[in-house]
Chain A
Amino acid sequence: MYDSFLNQFYHISHFLLAFFVLFFVLPGWLFHKSYEDLPERVVARFLKMVLLLIVVGYLLVSLRLFEVITLVAVFILFTVFNRWRRSIKDSSLLVKLSGFYDFWEGVKATGKQHFFLWMKEKYELFKIQFHHLFRITRIPETVLFLIVLAISVFIRFYDAVTHAALPLSDSYVTLSWMKYIDNRELFHDGIYPQGFHIYLATLYKFAAIDPIYILKYAGPLSGILTLFTLYFFIYKASNNRIAGIMAAFTFGVFIEWMFAYPLERQVATNSQEFSFIFIFPSLYFFLRYLEKGEKRDLLSGFTGTAITGLIHTLGFAYLGMATGLLVLAALFSSFKKMFRRVIHICLVSLGAVVVAVIPYGIGRLMGKHVHSSSAEFLTDQNELIFTAPTLYPMDWIALVSLGIVAITIFFSHNRRLVRIFTVLLGLASFLLYYQGGVWTNSLLISSRSVDLWTLTIPVLLGMAYDSIGLLFKTSRKTVMAEVLVFVSLVMFVQFYLKPFPIEPYKMQRDETLEQYLKISSQFRPKTWAVVSNEEGYAVVLGNGIHMYMETLLEEYDPSLPPLTKRGESQPDSQIPDDIFIFHEKKVFQVSETNSIYPLLKPKYERRIRENQQLVDWIEVYKQANKNIEIFYEDDNLLIYHIFKDKEKNDYERIWGIENEDNES
């Protein structure tokens, strides 16, 4: 069963392990230790790793070499090159080589002792970091953050671990694009930033679980990572952990009750939401660069911006706007001091634009055109639809927060730059959300500016919290008081409002996906075929062979051996030995209140018709052929299993040896 504990534990542990190895262990080997501060180091390395994976992914997919072996080879070469360079610098290679021979001689000073020294060094480092994270004054804050995190994880992962069906209609596109990348096909349906799909395909390669699970987990994980980056941005920019927790709490938990719009995109697996992860780390490093002028921050900011450009246009545009507002705030705060740094940020941002455009160039060179529906969505304008949205409590709370931050700018010089920036970003995002659609008549701005506003609200609340704190003198007692207030707030949410998981709409029943997973685990890849509807195509792609029901009904004669095309005498050799026909007794439909229902209605009518015809087709087949059985049946779904007589035995398959009897 999909939702059984063991099944979920097995798949989620492999998924998280692959994620952990790829984005936390490997970067430690591949990149230099550029930051002393642990959170900064982890985030900077994560950015570098994602950029490396996307760039290498593009390159390998273009060369048709995208596979585990090549990726591992790239990692090894990168590591060896880095370590070699370092060992030449500090002559550590010779020391290690002599240590090798000493080890075999049992020389303690270099053999065991080296190991123990290394262990001691690591332990000391761990102790420092552990104390830093969990020192006594921080325990309440840490516990609070973990509670917020736990509730946020529950809200976002609940659907992923309990329902096999994929969230939203977009998931099927994401799934098939991820599989195209896995199959080394770039821009299969047209030019579109493929960074996210390369990230998914890489995770899939290392987790080695069915792509369905990757898709189910990656979406909620993006939401959690965005929560982390919001916490990171506010905490590091304001040097106030509780303000960071406030931002995380707002994004992860609080917003659910206070907002009018469904948050289902936060659990769906989309490139837009993935691109949001990189916005605030990029802004943080640019902010740091403006404050300190260190090159490493400029480089990290560039890395994050380039990644966002390689993932999603809207995220990139938002980051562009935010970066513009940041440099504007910098010039406001100190024109003379900031001018050169602002120029540098503008230049690297321009560099990121160039990087983001490169895939488009590759696509054009390959003779591809921009993905049509995305291009249409990007440019579509319609005067009749757009009106200003109604403001809800959360909007008002955000606006009040914005006002608090704005007022405190005049009272305190502390962290002025970040507060000016927050106010500018808040104003711009709110205007975009409230009037953007009306002013531009753009379908994109009208429908997606809410997502950007959702992302800005936690920043406003976090910074407002910090700004209020500036008016009071910080002591251990005030921190404890803050924590207590927060705990009460969390308790209120937990026990009074009661967090409910985000459950997005689905396009298929859970059972359909569960049966697909059962088939794919029982049969070797490409040795089985599924006959079903459009969603089945993305699900089966790359693992089995998919056939539309319409094709089966129109092209194959049920009165002949399986499966023979009408007008032919021999079975179709392109069809594998095992065929599974998914007959929907009751065709699954999204709710009629769903905005996409009118678009899907004709499709559903056709499916009802086809399923009725299928009953007759099966009847004729049963009369003419014996090799058919029921693979699965419930009230809504019936899966027939048709199996062909095996033409070749395993021995012939393995060795490619032709049996002359078979030939005759």
Chain B
Amino acid sequence: MSNMNISRGNVVPFSGSAHKDKSRQLQLLADKILERHKQPEDQYEVAALLESMGWNDDRAIKEFGVEDIFELASGIWDSIQNRIVYTPFSRTEKPSFLRSLYETIRTFLRGLIFAVPMAVSVASMLVLKFSLWSYQNLTVEIATSIALATILSFITVGGFTQAIARRGFFYIIQGFYNLARKSTFYFIRLGFLACIIISVLLLLFNFLFNLFSYEMILIIVIYFFFLNSIWLSVTGMYILKKELVFTSLIGLGIFLVYILFKIAGMDIILSQIISLLIVTILSFILVSYFFTKEEKQKEKGIEIKMPRISITLYSVTPYFLYGFLYFLFLFIDRVNAWSTNSDFMPYIIWFRGQYELGLDFALLALIIPMGISEVIVTNLMNDLEASQRGYLAKEIDKKYRFFVRKYYKLLVIILLSAIASSYLVYQLTLWYNKISLLMNDQNILTSDTTRFVLLWGIVSYVMLSVFLMNAVILFSISQPGLVIRTILPAVVLNVVLGFLLSRWFDYSFAVIGLLIGSLFMMVLSTYYVRRVLKNIDYYLYYAS
């Protein structure tokens, strides 16, 4: 510093009124800089802005007596930093208890709503013994085909549904329904393209390598195609918050199967295929209709073009990967179990209902924690938003500690709810077994495999629910990379451990891969969330 002292945070006057003037001039200049850019990165950006405003070294020396424009920029940067301290301080108003309760219940139900179509299907299976794409008395060949088609459809479409949801919500929140529609249908088209390519490859591969009989491969491809279509349309309805419409469509589909199969006496597979076709067509018509309707009602007046495809793809790639890996993680243990070569293996993979039954019941344990998770994440995000205006800059560590503590509390809540949910599911399974014994003389829990898978499946899903909560938190702070870094090794663990254990001990040990993978995801994602919360300002800035 030469003859002018510009120290951090203060412009130190030399003496007299001339210096006061210079200080005022500096403040005025800082105001001008802030008019141009609200949040300059550093003193170098300030220097660049000064230059763009016509300032140079000579002028800086002449008017402020500094060495060069960088020294002036440094002084202005300090001045701007100093102002942050005086940002208006405000506490967010707390909503009333009733309002808060109402919001909590609403959020909880929104979290649960994804399970409603599944609940309708399960109810149909219990009462009618069939649903839109399953039937209790199928042969093992057809059961294998449908199970494979279902798994394959989830894995194929998982990435696309994430991409649709991410981009769809992104535009809808901003009120750009036109863009939301375009991006949704773009990804639906890509989903279909992927589905067609995979179907052709499956047929070709099967023709060359004889994996399944022709009847089986045909069923696999048909169900795969229709289930894909259904998942893609569900996502469209989900972003438009029309889950109940979709649930009704599933109900309609089941009703159609009932008419064709029970009343018209058609073959169950044919009945299901016809119903799936009708439901698929209807759901796409409805998605299109809902989008058009919303567009007319809520679209902002500005016509905005879709961003370049490469940019869209680049931005959704992590979410796409997450969707793909998540479903891979969820189903890979089944593939490990069913492909274990033991007594009955006419094909490379062979459906084992005892394993499926255990996991099906265990999966129910996820429903309540998903609702709770929605509440928790909403709550946390609201607090994060409010905290931006609730802490002084110097209290930053206090803020971090607060959020880490709060996160731990939420973690305990989700864990307790998951454990409670598991207990409920276990009791429900026992109750259902009693009913089954009374009504049909059938003991569904006879098999050791079913009991073993049910137990470890429940434990796995408890841990998975914690991961899912963490994943939503990380997504909310735009950190999909951390989620991928968690789920990718977990998938590998699930695949490798499940595969080895199922081969070395018993096929039911594939569930241990799921267990270890879930444990890994729970621990690592908790670590990442904690790390993010410990430096939350940086991540929020990054997300903005």
Residues of A within 8 A of B (CB): 14, 17-18, 64-65, 67-70, 101-102, 104-105, 206-209, 524-527, 650-651, 653-661
Contact = CB atoms under 8 A, between A and B. Distances in A.
Given A65-B500, A104-B309, A657-B443, 5 more contacts: A14-B210, A651-B136, A653-B140, A655-B356, A658-B443
Interface range, B side: 35 or more
Contacts of A68: 348
Interface of B: 136-140, 143, 208-211, 308-310, 313-314, 339, 341, 343-346, 348, 351, 353-354, 356-357, 437, 441-444, 446-447, 449-450, 499-500, 503-504
5 contacts: A14-B210, A105-B308, A656-B447, A656-B450, A660-B441
B446 A656 contact: yes
A660 B443 CA distance: 7
A656 B354 contact: yes
A208 B351 CA distance: 19
Contacts of A525: 344-346
Given A64-B504, A650-B139, A651-B137, A657 B446 contact: yes
Contact of A654 (B308, B348, B351): B351
A71 B437 CA distance: 44
Contacts of A654: 138, 140, 143, 351, 353
A186 to B, nearest CB: 15
A77 to B, nearest CB: 11
Contacts of A105: 308-310
A569 B137 CA distance: 32
B499 to A, nearest CB: 8
Contacts of B442: 657-660
Contacts of B437: 660
B137 A526 contact: no
A9 to B, nearest CB: 14
B140 A650 contact: yes
Contacts of B308: 105
B446 A526 contact: no
A451 to B, nearest CB: 35
B341 A67 contact: yes
A524 B208 contact: no
Nearest to B143: A654
Contacts of B443: 657-658, 660
A69 B348 contact: yes
Given A101-B313, A209-B210, A655 B444 contact: yes
Nearest to B433: A657
A609 B138 CA distance: 46
A65 to B, nearest CB: 6
A540 to B, nearest CB: 15
B446 A65 contact: no
B143 A661 contact: no
B501 to A, nearest CB: 11
Nearest to A68: B348
A487 to B, nearest CB: 38
Given A64-B503, A208-B211, A524-B344, A661 B441 contact: yes
Given A102-B310, A524-B346, A660-B441, A655 B354 contact: yes
Contact of A526 (B310, B344, B441): B344
A654 B146 CA distance: 13
Interface centre among A207, A209, A656 (most CB of B within 10 A): A656
A67 B143 CA distance: 23
Nearest to B309: A104
Contacts of A70: 499
Given A207-B210, A657-B442, A527 B344 contact: yes
Contacts of B351: 654
Nearest to A652: B442
A18 B357 CA distance: 36
B343 A656 contact: no
A653 B313 CA distance: 46
Nearest to A650: B139
Contacts of A651: 136-137
A555 B480 CA distance: 67
Contacts of B343: 526
Nearest to A103: B310
Q: Kindly list the 8 A-B residue pairs having the minimum CB-CB distance in the complex, ordered from nearest.
A: A656-B354, A656-B447, A208-B210, A655-B353, A658-B446, A654-B353, A101-B310, A660-B441
